Structure 1
């Protein structure tokens, strides 16, 4: 686990209980899973570039991958460690970001429960992508 990974996980834990809101970027008004990851990155001093125009259900994951690359996240593999960010597919055309706390525990913005929660999750399928924060990685964003 990197120190930054621990910081991201700790930042996410402080957001548990925040209400869910699709496209939510502010903890005071609500967060979705991208907003949760973005807020955790901002807590680590990162200027976050958010994707636009996604829906609750999406067939294409390009925006998710662009979001990761634009915000200093680097591909990684293996068991999810504290601070890793996973892109999962919980259902058809549904994609979701989780922040690992370790030991199968994750923080995520749960649309059904309408809150950011911490849950033990057994992933049925491998994640579509898994990243860790690289604080020295140069930020880029397509114009």
Structure 2
């Protein structure tokens, strides 16, 4: 899905993805259909609510080494959170500024973020 355009609340690779839509579309492409959160704001959800939504979908906190397919939850300033996926040696995420899904090297912000995987 790298290169797919960014679209807020987007959940279909054909029309665009945001960070939540990317995670859910990637799991669907891998054969795991998950109930996707809807009507979430760009900013303002508390960490507890986001972690609760991940848990309700079947994700659990993973405190061991990152694995391809893990979901990463990055906390940005102003209560803005961002989800992405771990690749073999990369981070895949819907980049609002670049207006597309990108694959970047793992940096400190990703390596130190909370990670989640399906139980």
- TM-score, L = length of structure 2: 0.86
Query: Partner of 2:21 in structure 1?
Result: 35
Query: Partner of 2:87 in structure 1?
Result: 101
Does 1:54 pair with 2:40?
A: yes
Distance 1:42 1:97 in 2: 16
Where do 5+ consecutive residues of structure 1 fail to align? 1-14, 135-143
Partner-residue secondary structure (3-state), 1:21:
coil
Distance 1:22 1:90 in 2: 17
The 3 A distance-change label for structure 1 pair 70 and 59 is closer
Query: Partner of 1:75 in structure 2?
Result: 61
Query: Partner of 2:118 in structure 1?
Result: 133
Partner-residue secondary structure (3-state), 1:102:
coil
Distance 2:68 2:77 in 1: 24
Query: Partner of 2:3 in structure 1?
Result: 17
Give the number of aligned pairs: 118
Where do 5+ consecutive residues of structure 2 fail to align? none
RMSD: 1.9
Preserved contact between residue 83 and residue 100 of structure 1 (Cα < 8 Å): yes
Q: 1:86 Cα shift?
A: 0.8
- TM-score, L = length of structure 1: 0.73
Larger Rg: 1
Preserved contact between residue 108 and residue 116 of structure 1 (Cα < 8 Å): yes
Q: 1:59 Cα shift?
A: 4.5
